Structures are given as structure tokens and as C-alpha cells.
Amino acid sequence: MKNKLEEIRKLRGLKQEELADAMGVSRQTISSLENGRYNPSVILAIRLARYFGMRVEDIFIYEEAEDE
């Protein structure tokens, strides 16, 4: 799953640590999300979307694999 989290975070002038604190997760979690190494739980995805005043689909892009 791809995402625009880093782009959105930077546009809002937030550091990874600030966003992590607001979400109740570690800075490493935010870093892993931004680098595509970690997919968020549904709850975290919704919390991020609400925090930024966006839809989940505006932040996270689901791409189906060809074999699915």
C-alpha cells in the first residue's frame, strides 16, 4: 500500500515525532508508514485521516496485486 503521509505531514509543518505524539505511536512507526514498510491498522488510518481532516483514501492508496 502506498501513501502520501510524508508529503501531507511536511505540508503541515510537522516533524515525525510531533505526529507520532499526536497519534500515540512511536516516531519509528511514522517513519515505517512513510517508507511503506508498515501498513497501518484501520484505527490508525482513521485517526490519521481525522487528524488531517481528510479521507483515509486521500492518504493511503490501495493497489491490488495482479494475482489477487
Instruction: Name the phi and psi angles at 3, rounded to 5.
Output: -155, 165
- Is residue 67 included in any domain, yes or no? no
pTM: 0.89
**31-61 pLDDT, tens digit each:** 999 999 999 999 999 999 999 999 999 999 9
- Is residue 53 included in any domain, yes or no? yes
How far is Cα 60 from Cα 32, in angstroms, rounded to an integer?
14
**4-36 pLDDT, tens digit each:** 999 999 999 999 999 999 999 999 999 999 999
Strand ranges (DSSP E) for the chain? 2-3, 60-61
What is the CATH classification number for the domain harbouring 37? 1.10.260.40
What pLDDT does residue 11 have? 98
Instruction: Say if residue 67's pLDDT is above 90.
Output: no
Structural domains of the chain, count = 1
